[in-house]
Chains A and B, each alone.
Chain A
Amino acid sequence: MKLVDKFTLWFIGVIVVTTPITSYICLNNIERKIDDVEIARLKTVNIKAAARMTDGSSVNIPRDASFTTFTSLPVLPADSFRIRKDPDPDGNHKSLESRLTVSTFMTINGKAYEVTTSSYVPASRQILNAILDTVAWKLLLIIICVAVSARFLSQHILHTLRLTMKKIHNFDLKKKITFPQTNTTEFKELNTFLKKMTDQAVEEYTAVKQFSENASHELQTPLAVIRGKLELLSETNIDECQATLLADMHHAIEKLSKINRSLILLSKMENNEFAVTEHIKFCRVAKDVLAAYEDRLEMKNIEVKRELDKNIQLRIHPVLADMLMNNLLGNAIRHNVQDGMIHIILKQQKLVIKNTGLPPETPPEELFERFRKSNQCSDSVGLGLAIVKQICEVCDFKVSYRYKAPLHILQVDFCPESVINEAEQDKFETAAVVTA
Chain B
Amino acid sequence: MKVLVVEDSKEIASSIHDFLFREGYICELAYSFDEAQEKLLLYSYDCVLLDIMLPDGNGLELLKFMKEQGIQSGVLIISAKDAMDDKIRGLEGGGDDYITKPFHLPELHARLRAIYRRKKLSGSNIITFNEITLNTDTLEASINGLLLDITRKEFDLLLYLVVNKNRVLSRQSIATHLWGDYTDNLANFDFVYQHIKNLRKKISAANGADYIDTVYGLGYKFNASKV
A interface list, Cβ under 8 A from B: 217, 220-221, 223-229, 231-232, 234-235, 240, 243-244, 246-247, 250-251, 253-254, 257-258, 261-262, 264-265, 268, 273, 289, 292-293, 295-296, 299, 318-319, 322, 326-327, 330-331, 333-334, 377, 379-381, 384
Chain A nearest CB from B189 CB (Å) reads 9
* B219 lies within 8 A of A228 (CB): no
* A228 lies within 8 A of B12 (CB): yes
Q: Give 1 or 0 for each of B168-184: 1 = CB within 8 Å of chain A CB.
A: 10111100000101101
* A232 lies within 8 A of B15 (CB): yes
* B80 lies within 8 A of A231 (CB): no
Return chain A residues, CB-CB under 8 Å to B170: 231, 234, 247, 250
Q: List 15 A-B contacts (CB under 8 A).
A: A224-B101, A225-B11, A225-B12, A225-B102, A227-B104, A228-B11, A243-B218, A253-B102, A292-B182, A293-B182, A295-B151, A299-B190, A322-B181, A330-B186, A379-B187
- B16-24, B89-97, B136-144: which lies at the interface: B16-24
* Extra A-B contacts (16), CB below 8 Å, given A228-B102, A380-B185: A221-B9, A223-B101, A228-B105, A229-B11, A231-B15, A234-B215, A235-B22, A243-B215, A244-B218, A250-B170, A253-B102, A273-B83, A322-B181, A334-B185, A381-B184, A384-B184
A261 to B82, CA, bound (A): 8
Chain B nearest CB from A150 CB (Å) reads 57
Q: Give 1 or 0 for each of B30-58: 1 = CB within 8 Å of chain A CB.
A: 00000000000000000000000000000
A319 to B181, CA, bound (A): 11
A220 to B102, CA, bound (A): 6
- Cβ-closest 10 pairs across A and B: A330-B185, A228-B15, A243-B216, A224-B102, A223-B102, A220-B80, A224-B101, A225-B11, A379-B187, A220-B101
Return chain B residues, CB-CB under 8 Å to A229: 11, 15
* A234 partner, pick from B82, B101, B168, beta carbons under 8 A: B168
A379 to B185, CA, bound (A): 9
* B184 lies within 8 A of A326 (CB): yes
* A330 lies within 8 A of B182 (CB): yes
A378 to B154, CA, bound (A): 28
* A299 lies within 8 A of B194 (CB): yes
* B191 lies within 8 A of A295 (CB): yes
* B167 lies within 8 A of A235 (CB): yes
* A331 partner, pick from B106, B185, B194, beta carbons under 8 A: B185
From B22, which residue of chain A is reached at the shortest CB distance?
A: A235
A258 to B170, CA, bound (A): 16
A251 to B175, CA, bound (A): 12
A313 to B182, CA, bound (A): 23
* B218 lies within 8 A of A217 (CB): no
User: Beyond A250-B172, A295-B195, is A330–B184 a contact (Cβ under 8 Å)?
Assistant: yes
Return chain B residues, CB-CB under 8 Å to A379: 187
Chain A nearest CB from B220 CB (Å) reads 11
A264 to B86, CA, bound (A): 15
* B103 lies within 8 A of A227 (CB): yes
* A221 lies within 8 A of B12 (CB): yes
Return chain B residues, CB-CB under 8 Å to A262: 184
* B80 partner, pick from A221, A235, A331, beta carbons under 8 A: A221
Return chain B residues, CB-CB under 8 Å to A326: 181-182, 184-185
A330 to B173, CA, bound (A): 19
A292 to B181, CA, bound (A): 10
- Indicate the member of B11, B100, B167, B170 with the most A CB atoms within 10 Å: B170
Return chain B residues, CB-CB under 8 Å to A243: 215-218
* A244 lies within 8 A of B184 (CB): no
Residue B153, interface by CB 8 Å: yes
From A216, which residue of chain B is reached at the shortest CB distance?
A: B80
Chain B nearest CB from A368 CB (Å) reads 15
Return chain A residues, CB-CB under 8 Å to B184: 258, 261-262, 326-327, 330, 381, 384
Return chain A residues, CB-CB under 8 Å to B227: none
Return chain B residues, CB-CB under 8 Å to A289: 182
Chain B nearest CB from A391 CB (Å) reads 14
* B83 lies within 8 A of A268 (CB): yes
Residue B84, interface by CB 8 Å: yes
Chain B, range 177-224, C-beta contacts under 8 Å to A: 179, 181-182, 184-187, 190-191, 194-195, 215-219
Chain A nearest CB from B225 CB (Å) reads 15
A264 to B16, CA, bound (A): 25
From B176, which residue of chain A is reached at the shortest CB distance?
A: A254
Chain B nearest CB from A56 CB (Å) reads 129
* B217 partner, pick from A227, A244, A333, beta carbons under 8 A: A244
* B179 lies within 8 A of A384 (CB): no
A380 to B216, CA, bound (A): 24
User: Beyond A217-B80, A221-B12, A257-B102, is A299–B168 a contact (Cβ under 8 Å)?
Assistant: no
Return chain B residues, CB-CB under 8 Å to A334: 185-187
Return chain A residues, CB-CB under 8 Å to B18: 232
A381 to B183, CA, bound (A): 12
Return chain B residues, CB-CB under 8 Å to A231: 15, 19, 104-106, 168, 170, 173
* B218 lies within 8 A of A234 (CB): yes
A11 to B124, CA, bound (A): 95
A225 to B8, CA, bound (A): 12
* B191 lies within 8 A of A224 (CB): no
* B181 lies within 8 A of A225 (CB): no
* B19 lies within 8 A of A228 (CB): yes
Chain A nearest CB from B224 CB (Å) reads 14
Return chain B residues, CB-CB under 8 Å to A240: 216
A293 to B216, CA, bound (A): 27
Return chain B residues, CB-CB under 8 Å to A250: 170-172, 218-219
- Indicate the member of A250, A318, A380 with the most B CB atoms within 10 Å: A250
A32 to B168, CA, bound (A): 118
Chain A nearest CB from B55 CB (Å) reads 12
From A217, which residue of chain B is reached at the shortest CB distance?
A: B80
* B219 lies within 8 A of A247 (CB): yes
A334 to B151, CA, bound (A): 22
